[in-house]
Structure 1
Amino acid sequence: MPRSRELWLLSRPQCHLCDEMLEELAPIAQRHGFSVVKRDVDADPAWRERYGRAIPVVLHGNVELCRHRCDAAKVHAYLSRFPLE
């Protein structure tokens, strides 16, 4: 299980769905002591191949939390498994 308190938002510049995802995701992540880092999906050939047309995608390590739209309930449930220290 990933130990980092960082969520990656795979996105592209000027992607309105990515901006919407970040807007919804950031307060949820902050509530659980996580940060959200935007990553360009095209920066890594493996990401581009796997997620190229599926963005935005939210990852915690190799765990995919949501794709296209923020699933707030799923993100809350997942992040609650990592209590603040």
Structure 2
Amino acid sequence: MARDIRLTLIGKPGCHLCDDAREVVQAVVAEYETDASRRIALDELSILDDEALRDRYAEEIPVLLVDGEMHAYWRVDAPRLRDALER
């Protein structure tokens, strides 16, 4: 049975750390495209579009959530993300 995993990347346009995080996340997600045991969905949200996100995460972006739980902020580490996806 496949495990559904939802990644949420929270950032804002023009944020170079957000761009770096997006590249890491997309590269890791691409590694799992043929893995039938995991279905990974990636959502991106901007703190500019949501006041609650801005209030909560403005000083920490980019923020990566895995299944709604904080995984990383400021920098996304590919090996650590792979480890989280394997659990």
- TM-score grouping bracket, smaller chain normalisation: 0.7 to 0.9
| Residue number in structure 2 paired with 1:64 | 70
Q: Percent identity?
A: 30
* TM-score (ref. length: structure 1): 0.77
* TM-score (ref. length: structure 2): 0.76
Aligned residues, how many?
79
CA contact (8 A) 2:47 2:54 kept: yes
Q: Secondary structure at the residue paired with 1:7?
A: strand
Cα-Cα RMSD: 1.8
CA contact (8 A) 2:24 2:76 kept: yes
**Paired residues for 1:6-85 under 5 Å:** 6-32=6-32, 33-81=39-87
Moved more, 3-12 or 66-75: 3-12
* Larger relative contact order, structure 1 or 2 (CA cutoff 8 Å, min sep 6): 2
Mind listing any 5+ residue stretches in structure 1 that lack a counterpart?
A: none
Measured in 2, the distance between the counterparts of 1:66 and 1:35 equals 17
Quick check: which has more Rg, 1 or 2?
2
Task: Identify, as 1 or 2, the structure richer in strand.
Answer: 2
CA contact (8 A) 2:48 2:54 kept: yes
